[in-house]
Amino acid sequence: MDIHTDIIANGDIVRPTYVEVNLTRLRRNFEAIRRRVGGAKIMSILKANAYGHGLLEVARRVVAWGADYIGVAVLEEALLLRRAGIGAPILVLGGIWGNQIPAFIENDITVTASSVEKLEQIEAAAAAMGRRARVHLKIDTGMERIGVHYYSADTLLETSLRCPHVEVEGIYSHFANADAADLTSARLQLERFEEVLHFYERRSLPVPVRHMANSGAILQLPEATFDMVRPGILFYGVYPSEEVPRTVQVKPALTWKSRVVYFKVVKPGHPVSYGWTWQSDRLTRVVTVPVGYGDGYFRSMSNKAQVLIRGRRYPQVGRICMDQMVVNIGWESAYNGDEVVLIGEDGGERITVEDLAAWAGTIPYEVLTNINTRVPRVYVQGDA
């Protein structure tokens, strides 16, 4: 494997706790999605540090692989990409406020225009700067977050025709339930979006780039492909829910590892960690692993999580601390320096993002995006 050296010191990883991102798997996932959507453009969604995989490195890769667009959540993410030399088109999907608009225009970052007021602010800022702003119009078809309601969208679209300093490059909406088994509500949202798009047909106007399909829709709503799709969690090799069909074959690109840093024997009746929530009824061996909720390994998994050491599963015991946790290995052997797999495979055993989500009472998205940036990312090539 080809490991990048930006966080390597004297041949060793700086922290014993780190994330390994398999770039070969990421590329294969990207190509599998490309095959699924045919000639449609791809907007790679890289928000929240590329779902924990590392914003800048993943951005460089998807641009090289032919991504047509990059999608992020906030302006700061887009500015990081621009300052790193990423020249690809970038859309900020989240809401904006007026004072941010000049930074969008100066850095050629595409703005989401989610209301008539926002669009007019964008037009005014661009006019004052003597520039044109690139925008995508956001239509709310059922999320009730940002975006103009589908039933009053004509006003926004008509206003856009009167904004000479605005280039309406795209128009989009977002599914609330495209990853569900019952697609009734998703199809209703799709119908609403298509009704809005008739505005351009009725006026014999060119239609902007249309996009609505997230990971769930890519998997099971091909009629929502339109001109561009927005793969998020699917690109990283994780399915958006257990209910979706596996019409695109992907593999997880992220492995999370640590190492044993301490070994001790604990007597029966001697509680472990904060709150004394666990104790053994017999003499047992435990090891300390330098990872905790400060790294994104949720405290809510205490006394439920499992890890892999030497290809075997062992339970985490006691409260997970900010920076450390304890694992019970019974009367088996483990040594300082032994690898501990938190997410990934070892010796035929496997712990998944979905496992951590179940133990934490959350979803895989939150597990991935909560892996703290203090956890180094190491990028590798090759696949097992």
**What CATH number has the domain bearing residue 347?**
2.40.37.10
Per the domain annotation, does 23 fall within a domain?
no
47 is catalytic: yes
Tell me, what's the pLDDT at 6?
43
What values do phi and psi take at 168, rounded to 5? -80, 95
Per the domain annotation, does 46 fall within a domain?
yes
**Within this chain, do residues 188 and 277 fall inside the same structural domain, yes or no?**
no
| Beta-bridge partners for 273 | none
- Residue 25 falls in which region: left (phi positive, over 0), alpha (psi -120 to 50) or beta: alpha
Tell me, what's the pLDDT at 233?
98
Q: Is a pLDDT exceeding 50 seen at residue 10?
A: no
Q: Give the count of beta carbons closer than 10 Å to the beta carbon of residue 87.
A: 9
**Within this chain, do residues 199 and 278 fall inside the same structural domain, yes or no?**
no
Q: Is a pLDDT exceeding 60 seen at residue 176?
A: yes
Give residue-wise pLDDT tens across range 44-75.
999 999 999 999 999 999 999 999 999 999 99
Nearest to 15 by CA among 236, 294, 263: 294
Tell me, what's the pLDDT at 9?
41
335 is catalytic: no
**pTM exceeds 0.75, yes or no:** yes
Burial class (CB in 10 A: 0-12, 13-18, 19+), 83: exposed
Give residue-wise pLDDT tens across range 208-225.
999 999 999 999 999 999
Per the domain annotation, does 119 fall within a domain?
yes
Q: Is a pLDDT exceeding 70 seen at residue 7?
A: no
- What percent of the chain is predicted at pLDDT more than 90? 95
Catalytic residue selected from 151, 262, 267, 274: 274
Tell me, what's the pLDDT at 383?
76
Q: Give the count of beta carbons closer than 10 Å to the beta carbon of residue 188.
A: 14
Tell me, what's the pLDDT at 14?
74
pLDDT-based confidence at residue 13 (cuts at 50, 70, 90): low
Q: Which of 169, 195, 229 is the last residue of a domain?
A: 229
Q: Which of 181, 213, 229 is the last residue of a domain?
A: 229
Query: Lowest-pLDDT range, 7-11, 328-332, 349-353, 368-372?
Result: 7-11
Tell me, what's the pLDDT at 170?
98
What does the mean pLDDT of the chain come to?
Answer: 95
**Within this chain, do residues 277 and 321 fall inside the same structural domain, yes or no?**
yes
Q: How far apart are CA 333 and CA 270, in angstroms?
A: 20
Tell me, what's the pLDDT at 384?
56
Catalytic residue selected from 47, 118, 138, 257: 47
Give me 317's structure tokens. Answer: 């015991």
- The residue segments making up the domain with residue 325 are 254-380
pLDDT-based confidence at residue 321 (cuts at 50, 70, 90): very high
Tell me, what's the pLDDT at 199?
98
